[in-house]
Amino acid sequence: MDTGFVAALGDWRTRSEPLARALAAAVREAVIDGRLPAGTRLPSERELARALRLSRGTVVAALSLLRADGWLRTRHGSGSAVRLPARLTERTSPWSLDRGGAPGADLDLTLAVTAAPHDAYRAALARAAELSGPLLVDSGTATVGLPRLRALLADRYTRAGLATRPEQILVTAGAQAALTLLLDQLHTDRTAPVLVENPAYPGALAVLRARRARLLPLPVTTPDGWDTAHLAATVRRHRPRLAYLVPDFHNPTGAHMDTATRREVAALADRHELTVIADETMRELDLRTPPGAEPHLAGARVIQIGSTSKILWSGLRVGWLRATAELVRQLRLNPLQAQLAPPPLEQLIAAELLGAPLPDLLADRRARLRAQRDHLAGLLAGTGWTYTVPAGGLTLWLRLDGTGPRATDLAARAAARGLALTPGPRFAADRTTLTRHLRLPFTATPETLTRAVELLRACCTV
């Protein structure tokens, strides 16, 4: 008998459960940790019992538990093999949100992310492996991006009404990497302020703070969106050279910039020589039926950045920017570009997924997110907290009532009971305001959301 199976289980007898349950749990964990790849054959029941020094009845009981939960595939005549249960691979919510990914938290609502589209990713990976030969004989060092991926991205912009040549695309290791590179290239006068939304995406704030950029906050609220009068006044008064905006399903508020505002922002940018970096990471997570038709935020002074992290999977770490071909040429010479380029294999996988499979994957993802958003909104009814149901994206921006605890207190209380949350000040340009707000992602399953909101309500009444 091949003893690899038994060795992969490790020291499982130290568990305090009954033996059959402990054995089943050990098999599950070995599959999750990758010690037993899906498809690994099990020894026969008799062999297992002998190798593990268990009664055959205990082994049979353990295998029954695994089979009932979907961890075993049994084919008549060819024995059993381990697998990942279908309920884990056919889902939008990532595993770690449901089992409580953050250390010490049973429920983690700090991440607004989804699991990978399992079958499509596996197929893309297999195809990328087939195509990888020519990459491997190359140096693997940074380029502007695989020609195929640049062409595909340019074509997607062009079809969406924004004529784009492949030379205008630079592939990066995610949208934050694109922002880092753009700041290094364009934010050369470091005393000049950078305009950001308030609240803003914390990842972008981190990048800006790492460069010690002075931040000019522009208020964004869920019901009213971007305060363009404030924007115009700020631009005239402080003369920022750069702005970072999330016009499509803004993180965290979910606000969506209307067509007139997009035109106004682009015109203002032109007039005041303001370069706008428009983060479109959420753009394709439009949950309206039918989806809206707002154009890209675009213009001579607008640079678009995007990523696969929200529409496909964070684990890909593939993003891009769209700018003039001249700026892309300059960025290619920036010494930071080399460390901000994604691995060629991930680019191949992204190119596969962003092609033919994407429309179905997005349709599926949108349907699930819409259901989860509506479920979350239902749970919040009657709480006294206010919010606008977001038209897209992954998060709901909650305003607590004025009488209860503040967001940071509430988050601390929730953390003590095993629920991790991100309070408003994390999204504030000044780090201290927005104390009455919480961001709730609806990327978790309805069951997780139900448990989370119950816990949250209980924390308020303590």
- Count of residues making up the chain: 462
Structure tokens at 351: 């190119």
Please give the Cα distance from 182 to 336 (Å, whole number): 10
Q: Is residue 317 part of the contact set for a second copy (CB under 8 A)?
A: yes
Q: How far is the CB of 189 from a second copy (least distance, A)?
A: 12
Integer CA distances (angstroms), 186 to 207, 303, 305, 461, in order: 14, 11, 15, 49
One-letter amino acid at 281 equals T
Please give the Cα distance from 73 to 335 (Å, whole number): 51
Q: Is residue 145 part of the contact set for a second copy (CB under 8 A)?
A: no
Q: Is residue 253 part of the contact set for a second copy (CB under 8 A)?
A: no
Q: How far is the CB of 179 from a second copy (least distance, A)?
A: 9
Q: How far is the CB of 243 from a second copy (least distance, A)?
A: 20
**Helices of type H across 212-357:** 228-238, 259-271, 325-333, 344-354
Q: Give me the half-sphere count of Cα atoms (radius 13 Å) on the Cβ side of residue 4.
A: 7
Please give the Cα distance from 84 to 97 (Å, whole number): 17
Q: Is residue 32 part of the contact set for a second copy (CB under 8 A)?
A: yes
Q: Is residue 113 part of the contact set for a second copy (CB under 8 A)?
A: yes
Q: Give me the half-sphere count of Cα atoms (radius 13 Å) on the Cβ side of residue 250.
A: 27
Q: How far is the CB of 173 from a second copy (least distance, A)?
A: 6
Q: Which of 18, 56, 69, 95 is the binder for a second copy (CB under 8 A)? A: 95
Structural element, H or E, at residue 216: strand 215-221
Closer residue to a second copy, CB minimum distance, 102 or 371: 102
Report 167-226 residues binding a second copy (CB under 8 A). 173-174, 176-177, 180, 184, 190, 202-203, 205-207, 209-212
Q: Which of 7, 163, 233, 338 is the binder for a second copy (CB under 8 A)? A: 338
Looking only at the bridges linking them, the beta strands covering 437-441 and 422-423 are: antiparallel
Q: Which of 221, 314, 408, 450 is the binder for a second copy (CB under 8 A)? A: 314
Report 353-372 residues binding a second copy (CB under 8 A). none
Q: Which of 53, 75, 134, 461 is the binder for a second copy (CB under 8 A)? A: 134
Residue 370, phi then psi, degrees to nearest 5: -60, -45
User: Per CB under 8 A, which region of 47-55, 61-69, 115-123, 214-222 contacts a second copy?
Assistant: 115-123
On whether the CB atoms of residues 316 and 358 are closer than 8 A, the answer is: no
Please give the Cα distance from 192 to 451 (Å, whole number): 46
Q: Which of 10, 57, 104, 140 is the binder for a second copy (CB under 8 A)? A: 140
Structure tokens at 80: 């059993």
Structure tokens at 4: 């690899």
- Interaction pattern, residues 54-83, with a second copy; x per rule: CB under 8 A: ------------------------------
Q: How far is the CB of 117 from a second copy (least distance, A)?
A: 8
Please give the Cα distance from 241 to 7 (Å, whole number): 60
Closer residue to a second copy, CB minimum distance, 67 or 457: 67
Q: Which of 166, 193, 252, 344 is the binder for a second copy (CB under 8 A)? A: 344
Q: How far is the CB of 134 from a second copy (least distance, A)?
A: 5
Q: Is residue 100 part of the contact set for a second copy (CB under 8 A)?
A: no
CB within 8 Å of 386: residues ≥ 6 apart:
398, 399, 401
Structural element, H or E, at residue 171: strand 169-172
Q: Which of 131, 192, 377, 412 is the binder for a second copy (CB under 8 A)? A: 131
Closer residue to a second copy, CB minimum distance, 11 or 130: 130
Q: Is residue 34 part of the contact set for a second copy (CB under 8 A)?
A: yes
Closer residue to a second copy, CB minimum distance, 51 or 125: 125
Q: Which of 16, 76, 133, 289 is the binder for a second copy (CB under 8 A)? A: 133
Closer residue to a second copy, CB minimum distance, 56 or 329: 329
On whether the CB atoms of residues 250 and 197 are closer than 8 A, the answer is: yes
Residue 437, phi then psi, degrees to nearest 5: -115, 155
Closer residue to a second copy, CB minimum distance, 282 or 459: 282
Closer residue to a second copy, CB minimum distance, 423 or 459: 423
Report 229-248 residues binding a second copy (CB under 8 A). none
Name the 3-class secondary structure at 189. coil
Q: How far is the CB of 328 from a second copy (least distance, A)?
A: 13
Q: Kindly state the greatest CA–CA separation across the chain.
A: 81
User: Per CB under 8 A, which region of 12-20, 36-44, 357-365, 409-417 contacts a second copy?
Assistant: 36-44
Supply the Cα-derived Rg of the chain in whole angstroms: 25
Q: How far is the CB of 193 from a second copy (least distance, A)?
A: 17
Within 10 angstroms of residue 113's Cβ, the number of other Cβ atoms is 19
Q: Is residue 7 part of the contact set for a second copy (CB under 8 A)?
A: no
Q: Is residue 89 part of the contact set for a second copy (CB under 8 A)?
A: yes
Integer CA distances (angstroms), 342 to 91, 136, 140, 295, 307, in order: 26, 15, 10, 28, 11
